[in-house]
Amino acid sequence: MIDIGRELRVAMSTGKVILGSRRTIKAILHGKAKLVIIAANCPKEIKEDILRYAKLAKVPVFTYPGSSWELGAACGKPFMVAALAVVDPGESEIMTLAGSSEVK
C-alpha cells in the first residue's frame, strides 16, 4: 500500500497538481487530468459533476479516505481541498492509485 500523502507531496513538488473542484472539472474537460482525487466528504453536487465528467473523459477517480481538511493537509496546504487533478505525476507513484480506483 502506498502512502497517499507522501506521493501527493512528491507529485506537487516534481509534477503538476491542480487543486480545487472547479479547476479540477476544467482540467477534466480540457483533457489534462490523468487522475482525479476527491475527499470522502466532498459535497454531493460537486462529486456527481466530477464523476460524470471523469466517466465521459475516461479519467480514473480515487476517493481519498479522509476529509477535505485532511486532503488539504496531505497536500501540504493550510486549507480544505475537496478535489484535485493530477496533470503530471512527476517522480511520484501516485498513478498507481488509478489502477486501484474505479471509474464510476
Residue 9 amino acid letter: R
**pTM, entire model:** 0.91
Q: What is the pLDDT of residues 29-77, one digit of tens each?
A: 999 999 999 999 999 999 999 999 999 999 999 999 999 999 999 999 9
Contacts of 101 (CB under 8 A, 6+ apart): 35, 60, 61, 62, 63
Report pLDDT digits (tens) over 3-35.
Answer: 888 999 999 999 999 999 999 999 999 999 999
> What domains can you pick out in the chain, each with its CATH number?
4-100 (3.30.1330.30)
Residue 64 CA to residue 38 CA, distance in Å, equals 6
